[in-house]
Amino acid sequence: MASKVIHAIYNDDDILMNAVKKVRAERHHIEEVYTPFPVHGLDKAMGLSDTRIAITAFLYGCLGLTVAITMMNFIMIEDWPQDIGGKPSFSYLENLPAFVPIMFELTVFFAAHLMVITFYLRSKMWPFKEAENPDKRTTDDHFLMEIGVHGNEAELKELLLDTGAIEVTVKEKNA
pLDDT of residue 1 exceeding 60? no
With contact defined as beta carbons under 8 Å apart, do 66 and 106 qualify?
no
Average pLDDT, stretch 89-110?
Answer: 87
Which CATH class, in words, describes the domain spanning 4-50+133-172? alpha beta
Q: What are all long-range contacts of 113-121, with beta carbons under 8 Å and residues at least 24 apart?
A: 114/56, 114/60, 114/63, 115/53, 115/56, 115/57, 115/60, 118/53, 118/56, 118/60, 119/53
Question: Domain locations in the chain?
Answer: 4-50+133-172, 53-122
Residues 36, 30: Cα–Cα separation, whole Å: 18
Mean pLDDT to the nearest integer, 136-165:
89
pLDDT of residue 87: 67
Chain segment 102-139, per-residue pLDDT in tens? 999 999 999 999 999 999 998 888 888 888 888 888 88
Please, what is the Cα angle at 144 between 141 and 146, to 5 degrees? 170
Record the pTM: 0.70
pLDDT, residue 92, reads: 78
